Structure 1
């Protein structure tokens, strides 16, 4: 049964942030604000996920920072840091997931990625994380002016790879992105942690359910 499922899968498609790469604005703002509560409040009320999402969809940082600084002039320096000190938001690779990626690569499974990421900051990650070179097709939202969960970015991926959605496993930590992918026919897996992902991929016959040695 597992082999039959595996034989129907032609590719595994990864999200990056939160799945393979630990990215979190709190890493920076804990340094810039007095305490954890202040950092979380600032990111909930000023440099919000929705504001950051504009950069993922292609908006230039300079434009977004200028607009928000005009709205919150007393926070101008903190807002600017979201761009100028962006690398400090990057943590390490999520090693358990990278190990899974490596194992799939050794098994010659086709690997692709669809990531919500600014075109201005993605080169920083590409230089830091060598495994990003493993992907045959890597769709960066900021470069395409499309972002998940918009179905159009998934459709663009299918067009560029020539794959059908039903032949792809899609892995993402965001529930909305998973819902869209599932509606389009992808075998969608909500990422929670590397151990659970290994079991999920094992159930599809793509790799061992046991940790790689």
Structure 2
């Protein structure tokens, strides 16, 4: 079936970090503590927020208190601002939309990061619709996430292409009938164009 819409993941597909966030996070604990376990604790604190449950700022504060970290709260939160979109991918999205292909953001984010992307960075202007897991109340790779998007798009699943850098998310999308392809920014822009061409995108003028 002809592709009528494309769902783009964010991290790893559209945007990438601008700092070595893991190394920076590891500096927020004492030398006698396990930096690896601290980072894992902090990453796990994000999970409820991805489905719209809890406040990420409160979760971070709890982690810092648990580890007796002296790092200022705002310094830690600033890391979630340290990312940038790849201009070439944004340009491809604009090309697809100009060709009449609906382009939508499909990303797992808590409300704190959503506000940065959607409001501060203007991601809302790049897409026809944006689907943040915190708004949907369910996160990838849960099939309910994809079903919710299909309901909003009102299109056959086989006419929608989903692009993500994680295999588990690709499997979740395929489970509901979406066409799905794995891609990572590190593969380069030509690889993305080849992926799209394989699915007949953009259409030949």
TM-score by length of 1: 0.77
Query: Which is further off, 61-70 or 166-175?
Result: 61-70
Matches within 5 A, 1:34-183: 41=36, 44-48=39-43, 50-58=44-52, 59-72=54-67, 74-75=68-69, 77=71, 81-83=75-77, 85-88=78-81, 90-183=82-175
Structure-2 separation of matches of 1:65 and 1:130: 25
Unaligned 5+ residue runs, structure 1?
A: none
Give 1 or 2: higher helix fraction.
1
Unaligned 5+ residue runs, structure 2?
A: none
* Structure 1 residues 32 and 165: alpha-carbon distance in aligned structure 2, compared to 1, 3 A threshold: same
Partner residue in 2 for 1:201: 196
Between Structure 1 and Structure 2, how many residues are aligned? 196
Q: In angstroms, what is the RMSD of aligned CA positions?
A: 3.0
Pair 1:14 & 2:8 matched: yes
Pair 1:192 & 2:194 matched: no
Q: Are the aligned partners of 1:170 and 1:181 in contact in 2 as well (CA < 8 Å)?
A: yes
TM-score by length of 2: 0.80
